[in-house]
Chains A and B, each alone.
Chain A
């Protein structure tokens, strides 16, 4: 019968029958689903065990339970450790107590029996009224109150918050430290109450599935965050680019419409864009010049200048003065800078030409230069200009020995008398008239200068000595015959040679000879003339610049 009882329900660890003196008469053990009857030689006397004393107090038909404890056989704790609840009922025959049936209900087996689904994630425990763990899926927790080393497994000690909650409510739930606890109170009858008061189930709050979901969420969040950052970055870049572009446009507008002129051309110097200053200077509208070459602006460059500009543009910029003609043909002067604009590959794409109008400055310079080089009374060149031109001509004749150029010096005869007799204003008028006359009688290429009080010089390039003599004789004769110029002139002519000073001395000596010969004469320097040679030697010796500068020379020369 015991065998079938144990076979039927796998919650018993032992079923036995004790006689009324506590001696085992039958015992059937369940060792890990192996049901066996214990041989009579191994049966024990349980009369001294406390639960037998308890059993003796039971009345007929009464069922008693002895609290859960560790099973002991032959004085030794059973291995593996078994915890069981003893259920005892006395056996009577004709009102005589015959013995006791003692059933050991294995708490562990009960726990296994009530667990519908085994799972590693769930830990189910049976707890008594004091918080002791009577059975657990984790055997190390069981019966901690019976082992000094495992006392911490009492819920009141290990999880006081949970235990307080359990005491205050019949069922409930608590989540603490990544573990969720659920409990319910077992409403067992008083007899079976020692089997346990509560069932407690625990699981980790976070599962692998949840962790995976969280990881997925984290991945999505990261990707979205990156996307947002990327979009933000792109938008800010666009915004910055737009702002920079707007600023560049403003700067370009400010620069383009400033006081400087701007011309943008393509790589073939065809105009792409110009500004108002350029239109003002050139007289052309932007529309008229669009696509046209710079040549239309009549900019005057020599071949040498073009070569220099090209050379500098290889180094990306050139700066210099430019002379051009506006739409009406008026000249203008610019201080220009040409900047080469290249693409990333270094190819020339555009030229940016900026310039400032220096026409007025150039005109002023020209005026000042003319003033510094011309005689204010007669408006012909002054001595400084004359010396410069004579030197240039000397250099030229030195370079080209067959080149002929002549110098003539004209002096008004007895000019002092004019001043003394008629006043300086008449003298000045005579000088003006003579200057105008000389200008009208000479070629445009001739240089006419006033080199002294009443002395004028004429530089005649491309002119032989004979031609020069003819010209000066014609001038002398015309003056002599003129009623506007009531005076005569004397002139000396020399050939311009490599030494400018010497050429001047020659002309001066010739002039002196003309004066000495009675005035109103034109005399050419003759290198074979003894008189001329003597005077030249004397002048050289005295280091007198002009042969007739000092009238004291006359007696000396006459003496010689």
Chain B
């Protein structure tokens, strides 16, 4: 009778330990999963924002360069630069 009781207790103990172990592993997996999700979300956010910023910057730079190029091409023709009075070289210190 004593052995039967003891075996029953051992079985109960094993059952409880298994449940706790499974619960603990599930809990760890859940926490790990949540942690990974936060990391992934953050990485996704960073990737998205970086890609967006890089695309916008490239586009804006192209636009700026285009305007500068346009301006520099038109400038020589936009004014009678030859009529500007020249100054004697000796008046001005070269830098």
Q: Given A101-B72, A217-B31, A44 and B58 touching (CB < 8 A)?
A: no
A110 touches B61 (CB 8 A): yes
Q: Please determine whether A213 and B81 come into contact, CB atoms closer than 8 angstroms.
A: no
Q: Kindly list chain B residues whose C-beta atoms are within 8 Å of the C-beta of A103.
A: 68, 71-72, 75
Chain A nearest CB from B42 CB (Å) reads 5
Q: Does A49 contact B (CB under 8 A)?
A: yes
A44-B92, A217-B35 known; A114 and B60 CB under 8 Å? yes
Neighbouring B residues of A124 by C-beta, 8 Å: 53, 57
Chain A residues near B87 (CB-CB < 8 A): 23, 25, 40, 43
Q: Which residues of A contact B39 (CB under 8 A)?
A: 210
For B89, give its contact among A21, A175, A186, A220 (CB under 8 Å): A21
Of A9, A72, A173, A242, which contacts B95 at CB under 8 A?
A: A72
Residue contact A105 to B46, C-beta cutoff 8 Å = no
Asked whether A11 lies within 8 Å of B60 as measured between CB atoms, the reply is no
- Which of A43-84 touch B at CB < 8 Å? 43-49, 63, 72-75
- Which of B23, B24, B86, B94 is close to A44, meaning CB atoms less than 8 Å apart? B94
Contact check, B12 vs A113: say whether CB atoms are below 8 A apart: no
Measured in the bound complex, the distance between the Cα atoms of B80 and A8 in whole Å is: 21
Interface size, chain B (Cβ < 8 Å) = 54
Q: Mark B46-84, 1 if CB is under 8 A from A, else 0.
A: 110111011011101100110111011101101111101
Q: Which of B10-29 contact A (CB under 8 A)?
A: 12-13, 16, 20, 23-24, 27
Docked pose: A175 CA to B9 CA in angstroms: 54
Instruction: Select B65's contact among A195, A232, A246, beta carbons within 8 Å.
Output: A195
Q: In the bound complex, do residue A186 and residue B50 qualify as a contact, i.e. CB atoms below 8 Å apart?
A: no
Contact present for B92 and A43 (CB under 8 Å): yes
Residue on A nearest B67 in the bound complex, by CB: A9
Q: How far is the CB of A349 from chain B (nearest CB, A)?
A: 28
- Given A101-B76, A205-B42, verify A182-B50 contact (CB < 8 Å): yes
Complex contacts, A101 vs chain B, CB 8 Å: 72, 75-76, 81
How near does chain A come to B47, taking the closest CB pair, in angstroms? Answer: 7
Q: How far is the CA of A288 from the CA of B24 in the complex (A)?
A: 56
Q: When chains A and B are docked, how far (Å) is the Cα of A263 from the Cα of B58?
A: 98
Tell me if B's interface is mostly helix, strand, loop or mixed: helix
> Assuming A19-B86, A98-B81, A235-B20, is B35 touching A214 (CB within 8 A)?
yes
Stretch in A87-95, A408-416, A424-432, A547-555 touching the partner: A87-95
- Give the chain A neighbours of B60 by CB distance below 8 A: 113-116
Whether A49 pairs with B95 at a CB distance below 8 angstroms is yes
Residue of B nearest to A195 (CB): B65
What residues of B have a CB within 8 angstroms of the CB of A192 in the complex? Answer: 65, 68-69
Instruction: Looking at the assembled complex, report how far the CB atom of A404 sits from the nearest CB atom of chain B, in whole angstroms.
Output: 70
> Chain B residues with Cβ under 8 A from A96's Cβ?
82
Central interface residue in B23, B38, B54, B61, by most chain A CB within 10 Å = B61
Q: Which residue of B23, B75, B78, B95 contacts A48 across the interface (Cβ within 8 Å)?
A: B95
Contacts of A96-114 to chain B: CB distance below 8 A: 96, 98-99, 101, 103, 105, 110, 113-114
Interchain CB contact under 8 A, B73 and A63: yes
Question: How many angstroms between the C-alpha atoms of A239 and B16 in the bound complex?
Answer: 9
Contact residues in B for A232 (Cβ distance below 8 Å): 20
**Chain A residue at minimal CB-CB distance from B56:** A116
Contact, CB under 8 Å: B95 / A46: yes
Given A203-B49, A217-B31 in contact, is the A45-B95 Cβ separation under 8 Å?
yes
Q: Quick check: A23 and B92 within 8 Å, CB to CB?
A: yes
Interface residues of A in 236-261 (CB under 8 A from B): 236, 239, 242-243, 246, 250
| B67 to A: closest C-beta gap in Å | 6
- A1-58 contacts to B, CB under 8 A, are 1, 5, 8-9, 11, 17, 19, 21-26, 40, 43-49
Q: Which residues of B contact A48 (CB under 8 A)?
A: 94-95
User: For chain A residues 202-234, which have a beta carbon within 8 Å of chain B?
Assistant: 203, 205-207, 210, 213-214, 217, 220-221, 224-225, 228, 231-232
B94 neighbours in A (Cβ, 8 Å): 22, 44-48
Q: With both chains docked as a complex, state the minimum distance between the C-beta of A437 and any C-beta of chain B, in angstroms.
A: 66
* Residue pair B75, A63 in contact (C-beta under 8 Å): no
Check A73–B89 contact: CB distance below 8 A: no
Query: How many Å lie between the Cα of A242 and that of B58 in the bound state?
Result: 73
A491 beta carbon closer than 8 Å to chain B: no
Contact, CB under 8 Å: A105 / B68: yes
Docked-complex contact A186 and B84, CB < 8 angstroms? no
A391 at the A/B interface (Cβ < 8 Å)? no
A356 is an interface residue with CB less than 8 A from chain B: no
- Cα distance A21–B95 in the bound complex, in angstroms: 13
User: Can you spell out 5 A-B residue pairs with CB atoms less than 8 angstroms apart?
Assistant: A5-B75, A89-B76, A117-B53, A182-B54, A239-B13
User: Besides A47-B89, A246-B9, A250-B1, 4 other CB < 8 A contacts?
Assistant: A9-B64, A45-B89, A116-B56, A175-B43
User: Taking beta carbons and an 8 Å cutoff, which residues of A are in contact with B?
Assistant: 1, 5, 8-9, 11, 17, 19, 21-26, 40, 43-49, 63, 72-75, 87, 89-93, 96, 98-99, 101, 103, 105, 110, 113-117, 122, 124, 171, 173, 175, 180, 182-184, 186, 188-189, 191-192, 195, 199, 201, 203, 205-207, 210, 213-214, 217, 220-221, 224-225, 228, 231-232, 235-236, 239, 242-243, 246, 250
